[in-house]
Structure 1
Amino acid sequence: MIPLALGQMRRRPAAFAGLAVALLLAIATLTLFGLLFAADSTTPAAARKAADGPGLMVIAGAFGEIAVLVAFFVVVNALGFAVRQQHRELALLRTIAATPRQARRLIRGQAVATALVVAAPGWAVGVLSARGLLAELQRRGMAAPGVQVPGTPLPLLVALAVALAVGLAASAVAARRISRIAPASALTASATEQGRTGAPRLLAAAGALTGGALLLRLAATRPAGEVDKAAQAALLGSLVLLVAVALAGPFAARVLAAALGTPVRVLAPGAGWLADANLRGYARRLSSAVVPVALLVGLSGTMLVMTSTAEHAAGAAASGATSATDVWLRQAELAMLTCFAAVSTVNTLVAVTAERRREFALLRLVGATRPQLLRMLTAEAALTTVVGVLLGAAVAGAASAAFSTAVNGSPMPTVPVAGCWWIAAGATALTVPAVLATGLRAVRGPAAVPAAGSRG
């Protein structure tokens, strides 16, 4: 199975590039906060008390809790996409007597191999980030001047072990469908996309939705003096709601695409009709593209609105509840989460578009021109962006309302309109150029060669 796993990775580099970057981010994040935790634990108590602010261990825990969950969310989404791109090959293996255990072993091997390949650069990024963040915290007086990043390899090894564990868990979830159905059914399922989202997935989405709602209720009922705890609960609740969006993604994406497709068909009768048909016919592919956009908008919007609401509440109360260091910490967390989500968005969109070379070639063989294909991709990218922004905005609105209830007793948060527009513009700037640039590359050359080849 190892040669087969490595062969698939070499054959589909675009599909595994997103998984590689996601695992690299996970290892780097675990290394970063593990080293900060180790630095705090080796610092004398007197030095820790001399520093202002919450302390390295609290900062590492608060930042790491959300950042690591986001990184792992990205890992699961990226691995699920990589496995979906291999359904045809896995189905063929099943028809020639490969057992479900062997199929699962192949996918586990791919996750482990990818994690091992990116371990060294992930460690390097984590160490450099820990040193940079520690220096900035020391400059702002939130860490003692004598604190240093320790040279112990334990945080690095723990980061790799946890990333491997998450990769293996994600591979088990991703391989579940292809390994449980009969070989002939697997081959048939690989040729077409499932028309409906399965009941177990919808039940899991309902469970995640319930969990997110409970976390938001917990955030809303926090006392006004516990702003940080309310913010962490609201941010964690938004992440759980985004998990629910990912689980119910095909269903939600199909519904929203159907609602938004009519104006696109009117504005662009040819390319718009084909774009709408593609998005509704391939809801899983649309979901793969929409979820990272929703993650980007949801987390960025939640952090931005919560920060603005906390500042407004502190100003109205004429208190120093929100200091400059608090604002800086929230901005740093926002930048980190936005970086994770942006990388996931670009990787997924590039991989999704690159895998459609055969589809584009068939359209060209039946008379479609390159400009027509690019207009179709533009319409698809616009619809994908709008669907992702709407889902992310809904999550951000719910989380921000819960936080605002805790801070000032009203579910109406302080919304920085200009900042929200910038988030939407940023999502558009990531989505449309990534799709069009990859599409331009995918439609190069003669159409007959990709059309006659395999899906990759």
Structure 2
Amino acid sequence: MTLEVGLPPLFAAGGVLLVCSQLGGVVGAWRASRTRPSAALADSAVQGGARPGRLRGVASLVFLVGAGALTVAAGHAPEEDAASVIPLVLLAHLVAIGLAGPWIGRLATALAAPLLHRVGGAAGELAVAGCRARARRLSAAITPVALVTAFAVAKFVSLTGAGEPDWMEIFGTLLYAGFAALVAANTLVMLTLERLREFSLLRTVGAEKRQVVAVVLAEGAVIALAGAGSGALAGCAVMVPLGEKTGTPVSGLPAWVWAATLLSGAVLVWAASCAPLGRLLRVRPVEGVTRRSS
């Protein structure tokens, strides 16, 4: 293999960066410009408390149907073509997960609520209430966790079926997974940092520092369930039908790899969510209530 470097990849990467950054800014500004000032002040009481719009729900269903159609089409394609379109099919599933993030978060909250109520006590109840209220905001954390998990499942299944491992493939897998993990960690850190006032209010009414940490850990369990669970399902949705066709069945993936992948997702969520807590909990509760996170 020879490495060819030219201007087209540079222009393509720059174009993608420009379009994505401007599109993200325009979408956020468009929603903000349509919100009445009084409604904006009320919404600011709970970060991410707004319900997702219908357009987002319809788009998630469209991409989910499209991902299913791509999977079926790839399943009827020749073996070499099926292997080459696996990343595209996986991307379609991940876009659907990203759009459906708020509903995935609420579903994970509903599934985890009985256990958190039974085991977590007051911290578990606060975590369930917080995840329900901030489902839209938490979707920003669920998506990159799902990306890491789905990509890892797809690549590990391919490497398992390849016989002798290709070290360059392993390095590339770790590189991509590590990049996505950094995105997820950065998002989770920012989501925790913006909750200074909320945590300070809890402490002013009698909550201890360890109880605040327990709330964050319980919420992290919900995020891990939503992100790693949806990512694993997306990876299986692609690799179960297409892996069999390309000679890399999902059944060939050892159980310890599944456990390591899911556990790594949970550890990532907990570590990134708790990383800023030391800084936030050093602020006096009275000061934290009156000042914004920075």
Q: Could you state the TM-score of these two structures normalised by the residue count of structure 1?
A: 0.59
Question: Contact (CA 8 Å) 1:220, 1:404: kept in 2 or not?
Answer: no
Match of 2:160? Answer: 308
Look up the equivalent residue of 1:185 and give its one-letter code.
A
Q: CA deviation at 1:407?
A: 2.2
Question: Contact (CA 8 Å) 2:50, 2:136: kept in 1 or not?
Answer: no
Quickly say closer, same or farther: Cα 1:383–1:154, change in 2 above 3 A.
closer
Q: Which structure would you say has the larger Rg?
A: 1
**Aligned-pair RMSD on alpha carbons?**
2.4
Which of 198, 204, 223 pairs up with 1:384? 223
Compare relative contact order (CA 8 Å, sep 6+) and give the higher one, 1 or 2: 2
Look up the equivalent residue of 1:357 and give its one-letter code.
L
How do 1:273-422 and structure 2 match up within 5 A?
273-311=125-163, 327-408=166-247, 413-422=251-260
Does 1:268 find its partner at 2:127?
no
- Higher mean C-alpha displacement, 283-292 vs 350-359: 283-292
Question: Contact (CA 8 Å) 1:215, 1:234: kept in 2 or not?
Answer: no
Give CA-to-partner distance per residue, 1:24-52, whole Å, 9 cap, x none. xxxxxxxxxxxxxxxxxxxxxxxxxxxxx
Q: Which runs of 5+ in 1 are unaligned?
A: 1-141, 312-322
Runs of 4+ residues deviating >4 angstroms:
152-158, 192-195, 410-413
Question: Contact (CA 8 Å) 1:222, 1:406: kept in 2 or not?
Answer: no
Q: What CA distance in whole angstroms lies between the structure 2 residues aligned with 1:382 and 1:446?
A: 27
Does 1:241 find its partner at 2:93?
yes
Look up the equivalent residue of 1:437 and give its one-letter code.
A
Q: What CA distance in whole angstroms lies between the structure 2 residues aligned with 1:232 and 1:173?
A: 33
Does 1:428 find its partner at 2:229?
no
How do 1:5-154 and structure 2 match up within 5 A?
142-143=1-2
Q: CA deviation at 1:445?
A: 2.4
Question: Contact (CA 8 Å) 2:157, 2:249: kept in 1 or not?
Answer: no
Look up the equivalent residue of 2:272 and give its one-letter code.
A
Q: What CA distance in whole angstroms lies between the structure 1 residues aligned with 2:160 and 2:205?
A: 53
Q: What CA distance in whole angstroms lies between the structure 1 residues aligned with 2:170 and 2:71?
A: 21
Q: CA deviation at 1:271?
A: 1.3
Q: CA deviation at 1:400?
A: 0.8
Quickly say closer, same or farther: Cα 1:362–1:194, change in 2 above 3 A.
closer
Match of 1:122? Answer: none
Overall identity of the aligned pairs, in %: 31
Q: CA deviation at 1:295?
A: 1.2
Q: What CA distance in whole angstroms lies between the structure 1 residues aligned with 2:245 and 2:29?
A: 42
Does 1:205 find its partner at 2:60?
yes
Could you say what secondary structure the match of 2:217 adopts? helix
Q: What CA distance in whole angstroms lies between the structure 1 residues aligned with 2:263 and 2:58?
A: 34
Which of 283, 291, 294 pairs up with 1:453? 291
